[in-house]
């Protein structure tokens, strides 16, 4: 029987890109902030503002870029640590956006928005996820629906950290409760993430998507990512039903492709 070989395209980083205003809505109060801070202030060089639940949602300007004054990344906690807060927490976000408009002239309708959440069966019900995958399908334009692109990590955001260093994420079978232990055992740390680790994470994501849905991801898929996002989700759920684990996958790098910070050639 012939072996199906996944050919990985050339991947490069574009560190000169002006990304304007970018918003990440995240559920966790520590790990997501730490990862995104590492990516956007150390690997790239963009100003970074965070809004955490634990400090009464007051904006904190963590880093000011000296080279790119026009690009700012805003990382904002969802109202609660569950995916349902995307739909129930609109008033909460509106209040935060009012403050950010006053302090930074941030206009959400003119920014790329990414919702970064875990595929955690215990706290994020499948019914809500299925609806949001088809609603949050483009970071900037969803017609009459709310703007934003939903990017899941299977099973948790730690999958991104592991994918920065591992070469065969598709073969890893790690239950959610063992991710942090595995990451710590292998000494995979955020402060060790540099350009080549971001590229590796993108390559691993590409391979896992190919294995799941037999599709070679391309940047133009992001014009309407809802269908592919749903296919990935459905295949992950099928895999989970048989193995009680997900294929290790974080779609965080999708946002960097969408922002043209990662170039796929």
Q: Is residue 8 part of a domain?
A: no
Which residue, chain included where needed, has tokens 């974080």? 250
CA distance 55 to 36: 18
Domain count, the chain: 1
CA distance 42 to 119: 27
CA distance 112 to 132: 17
Domain containing residue 153: 17-264
Q: Is the pLDDT of residue 54 over 50?
A: yes
pLDDT reported for residue 1: 37
Q: Is residue 83 part of a domain?
A: yes
Q: Is residue 6 part of a domain?
A: no
Calculate helix-pair angle for 158-165, 31-38, nearest 10 degrees. Answer: 40
Q: What average pLDDT does range 210-234 have in this prediction?
A: 96
What is the enclosing helix (H) or strand (E) of 209?
helix 195-213
* Assigned token pair, 25: 């809505």
Q: What are the residues facing 185 on neighbouring strands? A: none
Least confident range from 62-76, 83-97, 139-153: namely 139-153
The answer to whether 114 and 76 have CB atoms below 8 angstroms apart is no
Q: Is residue 1 part of a domain?
A: no
Quick: pLDDT tens for 93-127.
999 999 999 999 999 999 999 999 999 887 788 88
Q: Is residue 28 part of a domain?
A: yes
Q: What average pLDDT does range 6-31 have in this prediction?
A: 92
CA distance 158 to 180: 7
3-class secondary structure, 226: helix
Q: Is residue 7 part of a domain?
A: no
CA distance 29 to 52: 7
pLDDT reported for residue 125: 81
pLDDT reported for residue 3: 44
Q: Is residue 81 part of a domain?
A: yes
Q: Is residue 116 part of a domain?
A: yes
Q: What are the residues facing 63 on neighbouring strands? A: 48
- pTM for the model stands at 0.95
Q: What average pLDDT does range 6-18 have in this prediction?
A: 88
Q: Is 254 left (phi over 0), alpha (psi -120 to 50) or beta?
A: alpha
């Amino acid at each position: 029987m012939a072996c199906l070989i996944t050919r990985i395209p050339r991947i490069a980083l574009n560190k000169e890109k002006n990304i304007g205003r970018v918003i990440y809505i995240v559920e966790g109060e520590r790990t997501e902030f730490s990862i995104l801070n590492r990516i956007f202030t150390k690997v790239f060089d963009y100003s970074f503002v965070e809004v955490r639940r634990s400090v009464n949602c007051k904006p904190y300007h963590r880093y000011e870029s000296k080279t790119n004054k026009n690009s700012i990344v805003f990382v904002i906690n969802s109202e609660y640590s569950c995916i349902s807060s995307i739909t129930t927490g609109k008033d909460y976000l509106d209040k935060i956006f009012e403050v950010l408009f006053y302090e930074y002239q941030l206009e959400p309708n003119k920014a790329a928005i990414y919702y970064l959440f875990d595929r955690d069966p215990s706290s994020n019900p499948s019914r809500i996820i299925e609806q949001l995958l088809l609603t949050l399908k483009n970071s900037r334009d969803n017609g009459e629906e709310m703007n934003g692109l939903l990017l899941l990590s299977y099973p948790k955001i730690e999958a991104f950290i592991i994918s920065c260093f591992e070469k065969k994420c598709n073969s890893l079978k790690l239950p959610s409760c063992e991710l942090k232990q595995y990451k710590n055992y292998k000494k995979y740390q955020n402060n060790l993430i540099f350009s080549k680790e971001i590229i590796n994470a993108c390559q691993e994501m590409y391979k896992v998507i190919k294995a799941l849905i037999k599709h070679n991801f391309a940047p133009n898929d992001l014009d309407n990512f809802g269908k592919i996002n749903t296919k990935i989700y459905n295949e992950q759920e099928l895999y989970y039903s048989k193995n009680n684990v997900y294929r290790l996958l974080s779609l965080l790098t999708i946002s960097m492709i969408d922002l043209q910070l990662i170039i796929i050639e």
